[in-house]
Amino acid sequence: MKRIFNIKYLSGNFPLPFFVLGFMTIFFSLYSKGQTYTLDQIIQIAQENSPEAMKIKTYKENKYWQWKTYKSEYKPQLVLNSTLPSYQKQSIAVRQEDGSILYRDVNQSQAYAGLTLEQNIGLSGGKLTLSSDLTRLDDYNLNTGSYSGSPFYIGLEQPLFAFNNLKWMRRIEPIKYDESIKEFIEGNEQIAYSSSTLFFNLLISQINYQIAYTNKINADTIYKIGMEKYSMGKISKNELLQLKYGAITAQKSIATASLAIKTSLLALSSYIGIKESDNIQLVLPDSISRIQIHDSLALEKAMENSKLSIEFKRQLLEARRDAEKARRESRLNASLYVSYGKTNIANTYYDIYENPQPLQTLNIGLTIPILDWGRSKATRKTAEANLKLVEYTVHQDEINFRQEVITEIENFRMLQDFIEYTSEADQTAAERYEITKLRYLAGDINLTDYNIALEEKDQAKQDYITALRDYWLTYFSIRILTLYDFKNNELLTVISDQ
């Protein structure tokens, strides 16, 4: 069974600043032998190989066969019933006309075969049957053999006032199958969201390691220069100790970042289903696209396409079905069975089909609740109250769902602007740090100003990467809520060979 999930991702309008590209070049040069992955590649691997992907594919397959089972309920069923020759040799008690009991020896075998074609009637909830059967009886005491059977007979079994489950299946099962398709697509988008989270967790750890590595080099350089200045009496002992402390702190930051890399790498490799490698390196998404999403369009697509909107419809229909079932089962129930056919007895099987006799039956059954101490009424009222509860719950859930969609859209708009601000702040803070470092080495500013510039540079870098992460996570969150690709203006679909 082959399934293909088509998903397209964003591509560039906002290039990264030149210094960021240089930063990443230096970073990856330290790990030139490692395997590099982009965000798209990580998501693709996760959607194809991850345990979660296998889980949702299996779940979808399960729902597919449930759907096929439902469809078969409305198709004719051909059934063969047979009994292999059953043999018995014993004495049995036979009551005579005068009431006495006479024991007779029985030594006989019997074989039976019947073929039945059944068809459910969805509109009325009844069943139509067309059957043919044949029985052979051999009596070994009398050395005789005989046949009995019906060349054909047609039967109709029809509940008159009962709950029609087939009618409700026709309404609910297509919605459940559609819900399973939406759940599969949403599951793939959820995998994209989760793998993106783990991608950025590892990426941030790797970038923090490079920041710590660069800061360690700078701290060692400044500390060496500080020792020379101290020997010449240009700085105080306290300032020299601060420089030494900065070098030690940078070394601690390297160790902390290294541990974070190992932890994040294990989490990512375990989730997406690849073998863990110490040299896996991630490529920072170098661009984003501006997408204008109108609130009305997002709400429309969410209510049309999302799994949750279909789930609302299913919950209401199931509650209405249960309410009707409770009402029907608390009233008078009647069933009608009518059959007509031909039957015969003969010494040879082919004589069964010559001049058979008519076979007719008519049965009407009634079930009337008389005294149940209020159980039927309580069941009916419970189902009606549950229907009201489901209606209120679904109404509130729809309001919450709409609000969640609007909130994500607003957040997405804000992040598109926020990335520009954090990108500019990152570049500005990096340039300011370089100038501040040179001025500190020249003795124009004090150590406090240098440390402030260092902290601002590191914080600006982290803010920019965090903004990129939030952008992509919000983007996938919108896709989960709407199952719609607003960049390419198309539905997210799944293609299956089933």
Mapping DSSP to helix (H, G, I), strand (E, B) and coil, where does residue 142 land? coil
Instruction: Summarize pLDDT for 345-354 with one digit per residue, the tens.
Output: 888 878 888 8
Cα 234–chain centre separation? 67
Residue pair 406/295 in contact by the 8 Å Cβ criterion = yes
pLDDT at 61: 92
Q: What is the average pLDDT across 118-122?
A: 89
Distances (CA, A) of 451 to 20, 215, 221, 241: 21, 11, 15, 14
Label residue 173 by pLDDT band (50, 70, 90): very high
Residue 265 has pLDDT above 50, yes or no: yes
83/193: higher pLDDT: 193
- Confidence tier at 34 by pLDDT (50, 70, 90): low
Q: What is the pLDDT at residue 16?
A: 37
State how far the Cα of 167 lies from the Cα of 493, in Å rounded to an integer. 29
Q: Which one of 157-171, 189-203, 338-352, 358-372 scores highest in mean pLDDT?
A: 189-203
- Cα–Cα distance, 490 to 34 (Å, whole number): 37
Q: What is the mean pLDDT of residues 317-330?
A: 90
**Positions of E strands within 277-409:** 281-282, 333-346, 357-367
| Amino acid at residue number 186 | E
Q: Residue 120 and residue 314: Cα distance in Å, rounded?
A: 24
